[in-house]
Amino acid sequence: MPFHFDQIFNQIAELIAERAATKINESVQRGMREGAHAVSALKGRKLDMRCHYPGCKNRSKGPRFRFMCEQHLKLPKREQIVALETWRNGGKGRKRNRSIPRQRRALRLAD
Q: Does 66 bind Zn ion (CB under 5 A)?
A: no
65 exposure class (CB count in 10 Å sphere: 0-12, 13-18, 19+):
middle
Q: How many residues does the chain have?
A: 111
100 closest CA partner among 75, 108, 67: 108
Choice between 66 and 69, CB closer to Zn ion: 69
Output helix, strand, coil percentages for the chain, rounded to the nearest 5: 65, 0, 35
- Binding-site size for Zn ion (CB under 5 A) equals 6
Q: Can you tell me which of 49, 50, 54, 56 binds Zn ion, judged by CB under 5 A?
A: 56
In the complex, least distance from residue 34 CB atom to Zn ion, rounded to whole angstroms: 36
Q: Does 52 bind Zn ion (CB under 5 A)?
A: no
In the complex, least distance from residue 62 CB atom to Zn ion, rounded to whole angstroms: 13
Q: Does 72 bind Zn ion (CB under 5 A)?
A: yes
